[in-house]
Amino acid sequence: MSERMLLMHKDDPVMRINVDEGQYEVIDPKHLPFQLKGKITKVPELSAAPSKYEITQMTIAMNKNYNAIEHYAAARVLPITRANAKKIYALFGYEQLQTDEAKAKIAYICKAVSLEDNYWFKTEKDPTLWTDINLRSNSLSEIVAQVSLKGSSLSLQGEIHTPELNGHGAYAKAWRREDGDLYLHKVGANGSELESRIEVAVSKILDRCNVDHVRYEDSTAYGVYTCRCKCMTTEEKSILSGMDFISYCNVNGKDPKKEIMAIDPDSIYKMWIVDYLISNRDRHGMNWGFYYDADSMEILGCHPLFDHNNAFDEALMEDKDAKYLFDMDMTMRQAAKTAMNHVDFHFSDDITRDLFMDDKQYNSFMERAEELKIRTIEKKNEKQIPGEDDGPDSDDFWGLGE
């Protein structure tokens, strides 16, 4: 790729990228993505008669920068493991290799625009403006959405705006503009309804708890049952995954545990309680994270809880002391009981059998709520009793890694 690229934040260039020569110039350090902060090294200049040491140091710096930026670009392209991803790749005629190099090339071609933040790529001579490609204000491709959600065999025509080339997770999903808002539609594994119905059920349960969460509802799209939710970001407010935040902390000499708990301990503790109550096996580093101000880059706090379609896992409902995916150094029960000593978690309305898909889910939830001494609404006039902490102190059980 001979023409130099620009990493943009809206209409402002953040970095100039010369892929062929391995040269990178940070133009706007303030708006450098968190995923790149601390990873871009200034390449030392060579003397008139450079020594082997100088050449080696220059090569190391250039390779470090190259790998960091290539990985960042590649991460903005959906993985081939996503349901229907191969058909999306084929729709655009992109090669399906999953190396960072191959995916970065796709990112540079498709501009890697996303609904998670305001970053994108373009060449220096490209006259495209943010208003031309902003997914929040431009119409989205229904063709790509159908392929993404259903795996339909279709062909592309005309100008394409789509967020479907950028995304994470394994399940088929698609973005649609409905009723004046952007909605994400999601189906279950192999097109089944189960996971989507679990997502809606958990959402209704969390509606009755004092927990900030994304609301999912029953819906249909292109003739199939889905769960749908509104877009949780704006041009002013972007999201940073927990995995990327931990990596940012490690690279920049910060203690992830201390940083996370300094930002929003209330939301983190409530997440631990929720995951125990609903036997959620899927709280990996991409299923929690933070909001940050897109202009100031200030991290504001945790974004609402989302993605609970793997809740009420059969094995976890049987095993209260299973390791917690959020931090494998503690069990889910230890995390929940510790959290109960730090936050006010309560139901604001009845938790009733009709909210659950079966008796086993209901009984498991209510048994765990009783164990944590969380009162149901019928006992709302009784004094809240804090949970007993029979796990390690919260200062002792963090096993967070990059």
- pLDDT > 70? residue 393: no
- Residue 147 has a pLDDT of 95
| Residue 205 exposed, middle or buried by CB count within 10 Å (0-12, 13-18, 19+) | buried
Confidence of residue 325 (pLDDT cuts 50, 70, 90): very high
More confident residue, 378 or 327: 327
- Residue 378 has a pLDDT of 56
The fraction of the chain above a pLDDT of 70, given in percent, is: 93
- Residue 44 has a pLDDT of 81
- pLDDT > 50? residue 1: no
CA distance 284 to 282: 6
CA distance 86 to 80: 6
CA distance 89 to 96: 7
- What is the pTM for the complete model shown? 0.91
The conformation of residue 391, written as its DSSP 8-state character, comes to: S
The fraction of the chain above a pLDDT of 90, given in percent, is: 78
Confidence of residue 366 (pLDDT cuts 50, 70, 90): very high
Residues 246-273: tens digit of each pLDDT? 999 999 999 999 999 999 999 999 999 9
Q: For 142-153, what is the mean pLDDT? A: 93
Residues 172-221: tens digit of each pLDDT? 999 999 988 999 999 988 888 999 999 999 999 999 999 999 999 999 99
Weakest mean pLDDT among 49-58, 200-209, 293-302: 49-58
- Residue 60 has a pLDDT of 87
| Helical ranges in 170-241 per DSSP H | 194-206
DSSP string computed for 334-359: HHHHHHHTTS---BSS---GGGSSSH
Q: For 46-59, what is the mean pLDDT? A: 86
DSSP string computed for 36-89: TTTT--PPPPP-SS--HHHHHHHHHHHHHHHHHHHHHHHTTS--TTSTTHHHHH
Residue 95 one-letter amino acid: E
- Which three-class secondary structure state does DSSP give residue 392? coil
* Chain mean pLDDT for the chain: 91
Q: Which residues of 106-129 are buried (b: 16+ CB within 10 A; e: fewer)?
A: bbbebbbbbbbbbbbbbbeeeeee
Residues 92-130: tens digit of each pLDDT? 999 999 999 999 999 999 999 999 999 999 999 999 999
